[in-house]
Amino acid sequence: MDELIISVSGLRGIVGQSLTPEVAGRFASAFSHCLPPGQVVVTRDGRASGPLLAASIADALTGRGREVVSAGVAATPTTGVLVRRLNCVGGIQISASHNPAEYNGIKLFNADGRVIPADEGERVRAAFLEGRVEEPTSTSPGKTIELVDSTSAHLDLICGAVDVGRIRAKSFPVLLDSNHGAGALLGRRLLESLGCRVTVLGETPDGAFDHTPEPTAENLTGVAQQARESGAAVAFCQDPDADRLALIDENGRYVGEEYTLAVCVNHVLSQSPGPVVTNCSTSRMTQDIAARHGVPFHHSAVGEANVVDKMLLAGAVIGGEGNGGVIDPRIVYVRDSFISMALVLEAMATRGLPLGALVDELPRYAIHKAKVAVPRDRIPAALAALEQHFTTAQANHADGLRLDWPDGRWLLMRASNTEPIVRLFCEASTEIDAASTVREAEAVMQPVC
Residue 416 pLDDT exceeds 90: no
DSSP states of 355-400? HHHHHHTS---EEEEEEEE--GGGHHHHHHHHHHH-TTSEEE-SSS
> In this predicted model, what pLDDT tens digit does every residue of 34-79 receive, in sequence order?
999 999 999 999 999 999 999 999 999 999 999 999 999 999 999 9
User: Which residue, of 150, 177, 210, is where some domain finishes?
Assistant: 150
Specify whether 177 is located in the same domain as 297: yes
Specify whether 228 is located in the same domain as 142: no
Rounded to 5, what percent of the chain is helix, strand, coil? 35, 25, 40
* Predicted local confidence at residue 138, as pLDDT: 57
* Predicted local confidence at residue 139, as pLDDT: 60
**CATH code, domain carrying 232:** 3.40.120.10
Share of the chain above pLDDT 70, in %: 98
Give the contacts of 256 (CB within 8 A, at least 6 positions apart). Answer: 217, 246, 247, 324
Structural contact between residues 411 and 426, judged by C-beta atoms closer than 8 angstroms: yes
Torsion of CA 395, 438, 245, 179, to 10 degrees: -140
Residue 1 pLDDT exceeds 60: no
310-329: average pLDDT: 97
- For the chain, the average pLDDT equals 95
* Predicted local confidence at residue 140, as pLDDT: 73
238-255: average pLDDT: 97
> In this predicted model, what pLDDT tens digit does every residue of 97-135 receive, in sequence order?
989 999 999 999 999 999 999 999 999 999 999 987 766
Q: Which strands, in side-by-side order, build the sheet including 318-321?
A: 297-300, 276-279, 318-321, 325-327
Specify whether 317 is located in the same domain as 349: yes
Specify whether 215 is located in the same domain as 347: yes
Specify whether 429 is located in the same domain as 292: no
Structural contact between residues 393 and 420, judged by C-beta atoms closer than 8 angstroms: no
With cut-offs at 50, 70 and 90, classify the pLDDT of residue 3.
confident
- Interatomic CA distance for residues 414 and 424, integer angstroms: 7
Provide the angle, in degrees to the nearest 10, between the axes of the packed helices 337-351 and 258-271.
60
User: Which residue, of 294, 327, 360, is where some domain finishes?
Assistant: 360
Specify whether 332 is located in the same domain as 426: no
Share of the chain above pLDDT 90, in %: 90
Beta strands (DSSP E) in 61-208 are 68-73, 90-94, 103-110, 144-146, 173-177, 197-201
What's the half-sphere exposure (Cβ side, CA atoms, 13 Å) at 430? 3
> In this predicted model, what pLDDT tens digit does every residue of 137-147 receive, in sequence order?
556 789 999 99
- Asked whether residue 155 is domain-assigned, the answer is no
As beta bridge partners, residue 256 has 247
User: Which residue, of 308, 325, 360, is where some domain finishes?
Assistant: 360
Specify whether 371 is located in the same domain as 323: no
With cut-offs at 50, 70 and 90, classify the pLDDT of residue 136.
low
Specify whether 323 is located in the same domain as 343: yes
User: Can you give the C-alpha Rg of the chain in angstroms?
Assistant: 22
Specify whether 130 is located in the same domain as 240: no
Range of the domain at 410: 366-445
Report how many domains make up the chain.
3
The letter for the amino acid at 330 is: R
- Asked whether residue 158 is domain-assigned, the answer is no
- Asked whether residue 157 is domain-assigned, the answer is no
The letter for the amino acid at 370 is: A
* Predicted local confidence at residue 108, as pLDDT: 98
* Predicted local confidence at residue 86, as pLDDT: 98
| 49-58, 175-184, 407-416: the lowest-pLDDT one | 407-416
**CATH code, domain carrying 374:** 3.30.310.50
- Asked whether residue 161 is domain-assigned, the answer is no
Specify whether 88 is located in the same domain as 224: no
Among candidate residues 248, 181, 261, the one with its CA nearest the CA of residue 220? 248
Specify whether 355 is located in the same domain as 370: no
| 216-225, 313-322, 328-337, 374-383: the lowest-pLDDT one | 374-383
- Asked whether residue 163 is domain-assigned, the answer is no
- Asked whether residue 414 is domain-assigned, the answer is yes
* Predicted local confidence at residue 131, as pLDDT: 86
- Interatomic CA distance for residues 98 and 281, integer angstroms: 19
Residue 364 pLDDT exceeds 70: yes
With cut-offs at 50, 70 and 90, classify the pLDDT of residue 418.
low
255-280: average pLDDT: 97
- Asked whether residue 159 is domain-assigned, the answer is no
Alpha-helical (H) ranges within 135-281 are: 152-159, 164-170, 184-193, 221-230, 258-271
* Predicted local confidence at residue 109, as pLDDT: 98
Specify whether 268 is located in the same domain as 334: yes
Between these two residues, 170 and 376, which has the higher pLDDT value?
Answer: 170
Residue 449 pLDDT exceeds 90: no
- Asked whether residue 329 is domain-assigned, the answer is yes
Residues with a catalytic annotation lie at 97
> In this predicted model, what pLDDT tens digit does every residue of 230-243 receive, in sequence order?
999 999 999 999 99
